[in-house]
A and B are shown apart, each in its own frame.
Chain A
Amino acid sequence: MGGNSQENPVYLDYQATTPTDPRVVDAMMPYFTQKFGNPHSRNHAYGWEAEEAVEEGRRQVADIIGANSKEIIFTSGATESNNLALKGVAQFYKSKRNHIITCVTEHKCVLDTCRHLEQDGFDVTYLPVQENGLINLDELKAAMTDKTVLVSIMAVNNEIGVIQPLKEIGAICRENKTFFHTDAAQAVGKIELDVEEMNIDLMSISGHKIYGPMGIGALYVRRRPRVRIIAQINGGGQERGMRSGTLSPALCVGLGEACKIAKEEMASEAERLHELQMHMWTRFQEELPEVYLNGDLEKRIPGNLNVSYAFVEGEGLMMGIKDLAVSSGSACTSASLEPSYVLRALGVEEELAHTSLRLGIGRFTTKEEVDYATDRIIKEVQRLREMSPLFEMAQQGIDIKSIQWAEH
């Protein structure tokens, strides 16, 4: 993987996307050129062959979450799956129940969909999170009413990697006869997921976050007890009428193969990544004062660290480590001038939110890369702190909060 140059930086952004596993690409290749049939063609062998491949992919996706393959709908990705789950359920049950509960740290595609549903007359409760990034189950219980049709809480957060208590949420939902949807884009293949044990009714899955191809995802929709959804894309009635459009056998095979590999290798991969994660975090703590981990350390996937390096602005830091591909919670890297809404939701103060980096490691990250990256970050933080008036003030014992700063 990555070399140590600006042209080919060390890749530490596995929550943004993952490289497609070469084994996945190998499995996909025949479906572009030789086995190119339309899986919906019922009249000839090309169609049958493509359909068989799609159904095998569907079985592999179902298998990793303990579902039946008839409960898997292929989509273009997790954004579409989230839209279909939320809008599909809300619209179907509108006359009986019109309340949805979600959480402030959800992915933008869930929050934006909820905003749209609010405009259509639905009530949405946005649960806050605790300092560790997890929702408070008592607050969830308190927010539930007999009008609550759906609870949508992500399995693993994309910025801070924390794992929500899915089983407990599922139990609360079941008791209230409320459907439970979870955006599991960052969770599949990283933590054990079982839709039965966790009482999950709908689950969004992404291909490219799990070493599969971009452009495909899936939505799990429970059959017993049955969850009904209104299709958002109309047409030939594919995917049991829930999502029309010709499937791409190559992409379906790719997603299936990615799930199969993830299931087989999850335990060993998690162990290896946990070691790298802890190695990195321990070194930061030992070699730099005033570093803070955002989000719970224990209830966290092993491939993520989100660290605030006090007194060093995140974008400025990233400029010094151009040989590392990371992302920042700082304002300056996004279109808006606000720092990460996820970090703000944890109660991380704005000045610290501006100093954060998200470090995502994964299947192809080596120990050498982790050590190289850790060295580079430590060195650059030290250099920039020497240049930081805030670091100097802190060393002189001046409380930065005691200064009257100008409003921007």
Chain B
Amino acid sequence: MSYSEKVVDHYENPRNVGSMDNEAGEVGTGLVGAPACGDVMRLQIKVGENGIIEDAKFKTFGCGSAIASSSLVTEWVKGKTLEEASNIKNTDIAEELALPPVKIHCSVLAEDAIKAAISDYKLKHGDAKTSEAS
């Protein structure tokens, strides 16, 4: 399989690899996928008091497209409000990285990771209604 230049770039120079403190109030963690399926993504966001995502970190177990998708979304969510970040669509990710059809599930997983991280943050802040809806 040949990968797009952008996938190769994110794979070779992944942005924002790392971990944040799970327990910290300003951190939201999304852990999606399953080891048995060959993809696990963990996306963490750090949200400022103004409701804007200040920082994002990821770790991913998966193929190059999965690593690239999660690396890309850490860049995209930074500077966005939770609302704006939750509007990132898997199709945007797939288009940006020129993912072939067989790799679309990687972009779906990345979108799920954003939503899960936001939901975790909101849950910590007692916004149960929103987290139920997501």
Contact = CB atoms under 8 A, between A and B. Distances in A.
Given A319-B3, A319-B11, A406 B64 contact: no
B36 A332 contact: no
B64 A405 contact: no
Interface string A274-312: 000000000000000000000000000000000000011
Contacts, number: 82
B59 interface: yes
B59 A387 contact: yes
A386 B33 CA distance: 18
Interface string B50-67: 000000000111111011
A379 B101 CA distance: 30
A350 B60 contact: no
B93 to A, nearest CB: 17
B123 to A, nearest CB: 16
A405 B36 contact: yes
A201 interface: no
Contact of A330 (B3, B32, B38, B41): B38
Contacts of B40: 389-390, 405
Contacts of A387: 14, 17, 59-60, 67
A354 B38 contact: yes
Interface string A303-341: 000000001111110011000000000111100010100
Interface string B13-38: 01001010000000000011111111
Nearest to A388: B61
B42 interface: yes
Contact of B62 (A313, A337, A391): A313
A192 interface: no
A405 B33 contact: yes
A319 B35 CA distance: 19
Contacts of B11: 316, 319-320
B108 to A, nearest CB: 10
Contacts of A315: 38, 63-64
Given A319-B3, A386-B17, A387-B14, A406 B63 contact: no
A339 B40 CA distance: 16
A403 B36 CA distance: 12
Given A316-B66, A320-B11, A390 B61 contact: yes
A408 interface: yes
Nearest to B38: A354
A389 B41 contact: yes
A300 to B, nearest CB: 26
Interface string A354-375: 1000000000000000000000
Contacts of A313: 38-39, 61-63, 66
A316 B67 contact: yes
A320 to B, nearest CB: 7
A349 interface: yes
Among B1, B3, B34, B105, the one with the most A-chain Cβ atoms within 10 Å of its Cβ is B34
B35 A400 contact: yes
A392 B59 contact: yes
A405 B35 contact: yes
Closest 7 interchain pairs by CB?
A: A351-B35, A405-B34, A350-B36, A408-B37, A389-B42, A319-B64, A389-B59
Interface of B: 1, 3, 11, 14, 17, 19, 31-42, 59-64, 66-67, 102, 105
Given A330-B63, A332-B38, 15 more contacts: A313-B63, A315-B38, A315-B64, A316-B61, A316-B62, A316-B66, A349-B36, A386-B17, A388-B60, A392-B19, A405-B34, A405-B36, A405-B40, A406-B34, A408-B36
14 contacts: A311-B61, A313-B38, A313-B61, A316-B61, A319-B64, A320-B11, A330-B38, A351-B35, A386-B17, A390-B35, A405-B33, A405-B36, A408-B33, A408-B105
